[in-house]
Structure 1
Amino acid sequence: MLGGQPDLEVVGEAVDGRDGLDQARSLSPHVVLMDIRMPRMDGLSAASALLADPQPPKLIVLTTFDADEHVVSALRAGAAGFLLKDTPPPEIVASIRKVVDGEPMLSPSVTRRLIERLNDPSQGRTARARARLAGLTEREREVAGAVGRGLSNAEIAAELHLSVPTVKAHVSRLFDKLGATNRVQIAICVHDAGA
């Protein structure tokens, strides 16, 4: 697919992530196409290591897996593109050229999934809830978690080896710190945060 392009030269091929990382470092290509699932070292680990180099190549993840966590991990590491292997060859070639010119490239299905993820109200709700819980002390987080499981003050006291008045004081502080007016709101915050 790439060999017949007059402006592209394939300078190396690797059998796994470790080999890909070594070859990319020794051959200094302008662009690296990296798969995710490979033996010895997965593509995301190899990509992260390569992109941490002082003068890294442009990197395009080319894979059959468009799982959200793979896309986000690759883009956070600095990948310039994320293409699925079912992308038509002319589009892959065009993507390589665009990445060289500094334009990031994502397969349409990947773009759609990222947009859906960003527009998913639960994503923002989770982040907000986690931020609210981050302002709590460790003991307050434990009490909040117990409230989230529906435990009474007496049950929380027994579980955490505290007195009931101490638990009441913690719950009262949770109301203030979380802006909650009742235990259900504390439980919802804990649930939204995935804690």
Structure 2
Amino acid sequence: MKTQLLLVSLAGALFAVTACSGEPPPPPTTVTATPPSTLPAPPPGPDTKTVAWLDGMCGAIYGFVKASNDHANRQSSGIEVTRPWLSENLGVRAELAGKVVEELNALPASPIPGGDTVKKSLVDSYATARDAAAEGKRKLDASTSQAALDGGLKALEAAQKPLMETTDPFASVKMETPELLTAVAAAKNCVPSP
């Protein structure tokens, strides 16, 4: 029994000597949490080129509609159609449609698929209206015949055709992507003013 006690005492002494041997215990392992290196990026803002192009298109079209409506509202109701009145109105319509053609032609290539086709169609429509009004005015001013007056009235109707057509310049373009919807929302001229 003494031997067992001695062995247990020796084992305890060895343990005490090793624990006090002066070797430092290994340092505790530290764990540092690092945030992920890539945080999700905030959604990008609208493409500035797309917004500028949309603003240009909408500004030209809605500007024409507004200017045409303003001109019509300045006319008194029940007005008698006279040669001077018709000549003046044809001149105004030719000028307004011509301004749209200039503004649309000044736009760069469309960043929107199908946008250039829409632009060309609109340029053609407004150029036809401009030319009809200008030619109708020229013929009316050059002749006192009833035929010239009738031709002037037809020219006025042709000059107003863009007003009768859709005022949504993008009806044929698919504007369903989130990027395009964001760009349209940011294009201030694409919200027609009352």
Classify the TM-score, shorter chain.
under 0.3
**Larger relative contact order (CA 8 Å, sep ≥ 6):** 2
Higher strand share: 1
Higher helix share: 2
For the pair shown, the structure with the greater C-alpha radius of gyration is 2
Alignment TM-score, normalising by the size of structure 1: 0.26
Alignment TM-score, normalising by the size of structure 2: 0.26
